[in-house]
Chains A and B, each alone.
Chain A
Amino acid sequence: MKFVDEYRDAELGRALSAQILSLVEPGRHYKVMEVCGGHTHSIYKYGIDDLLPENVELVHGPGCPVCVIPMGRVDDGIAIARREGVIFTCFGDMLRVPGSERTLLDAKADGADIRMVYSPLDAMRIAKSNPDRDVVFFAIGFETTAPSTALTLKRAKAEGVSNFLCMCNHVTIIPPLRALLTSPDMRLDGFIGPGHVSTIVGARPFEFIPADYGKPLVTSGFEPLDILQSIQMILAQLAEGRSEIENQYKRVVPYEGNRAALAVMAEVFALRPHFEWRGLGFITQSALRLSDAYAEFDAERRYEVPGVRVADPKACQCGEVLKGVIKPWECKVFGTACTPEHAIGTCMVSPEGACAAYYNYGRFAREKELV
């Protein structure tokens, strides 16, 4: 398949692996963070860890949109979903994210009309088919997904679909990266930049990472050779004493981003003063709400929600996993009390979550090592 097969060539993979080996200094430990959950998934799926020298460690970042939703927001969603006459819609993996007591799937089993959709456009179609009911879309995701919500809201406004509402949980990638870089318990050598977010925002917003913190960032695609080449580019920068933004994913990422997407986002959304991230706490200007021009579509303005901050369960260490402080298998409940079937933490729910990715693809290799 075009744009896929050529990025899975084993011979080229071995050549890149050899180049990576030639770039590392023996005795130095390298920590490279993959920001995006899609990269985490690919790394485990394709066993990219196994192609790296032992002293190159990949650290998983906060870029899984489902993983960073705090329990209180799930409770708020459930409160709306339980209202008479509401059809509540969300992406499939969001259904299984635990709130303080229940998941959306539990609420659906209790009788709430909660439906899984593939896109906000699907949710709007449901609204058009049910003009006598309010249809609420629980919007999540980084800048990759936010334009889709924005375009759908524009469409709803243009077509007068007034029973389509949005509970906006979109987040932005730069503020948590800043928070991580200023965290005293985090020492990183470089970043694999989020490829799909970068198709929207471009590479420019990441310039502060080399400029202020002296760390290289390489925007990367998601196929195995993309990721290997990006690691090679980061290590080459470190070997040459450079720290720059480089773009490995040139086939889709323009340096300036997608202007049409940025324009529609600016029209439909406004920055929230602060937003709670699971594991990371409140981060200033790190999330989006609907702009005043789209207030009529804002579910949080239409309905009262509890808005209560809920602490994560004590056993769950998603926060440390999201910050890259611990590996998934170092969590006390990983693979025992917490599995994809019965997740305690969000990182075990989404396929992009580090715990789910590791559980699905990596744990058997590790069990073999331990034996």
Chain B
Amino acid sequence: MRVLAVDDERGLALCTDGQGRRETVEIALVLPVAPSDELLVHAATAIAKEGSQ
């Protein structure tokens, strides 16, 4: 999912998928996160940043 906006205070990000669906995602495991980052999301938790390795 692509990051649209980050709420640093709550550790959450607003993300969108390829179909335009939006979802609030927990980002504690992949910090730091910035808009336009691509995240691998499982059960509303980002578990990896795509292309970061």
Contact = CB atoms under 8 A, between A and B. Distances in A.
A9 to B, nearest CB: 17
- Of B24, B42, B43, B48, most buried by chain A (CB within 10 Å of CB) is B43
B43 to A, nearest CB: 4
B40 A196 contact: yes
B44 A148 contact: yes
Interface of B, secondary structure class, is loop
A261 B18 contact: no
A152 B42 CA distance: 13
A86 B11 CA distance: 29
Interface residues of A, number: 30
B47 A196 contact: yes
Interface string B22-53: 00101011110000001010111101111111
B53 A252 contact: yes
B45 A147 contact: yes
A260 interface: yes
Contacts of A196: 40, 42, 47
A3 B38 contact: yes
Contact of A253 (B24, B44, B45, B48): B48
B51 A119 contact: no
Given A91-B43, A119-B45, A151-B28, 9 more contacts: A3-B51, A121-B26, A144-B42, A148-B44, A151-B29, A199-B47, A251-B50, A252-B49, A260-B31
20 contacts: A1-B18, A119-B43, A120-B44, A144-B42, A148-B44, A149-B43, A151-B28, A196-B40, A196-B47, A251-B50, A252-B40, A254-B53, A258-B30, A258-B47, A258-B48, A260-B28, A260-B29, A261-B29, A261-B47, A264-B29
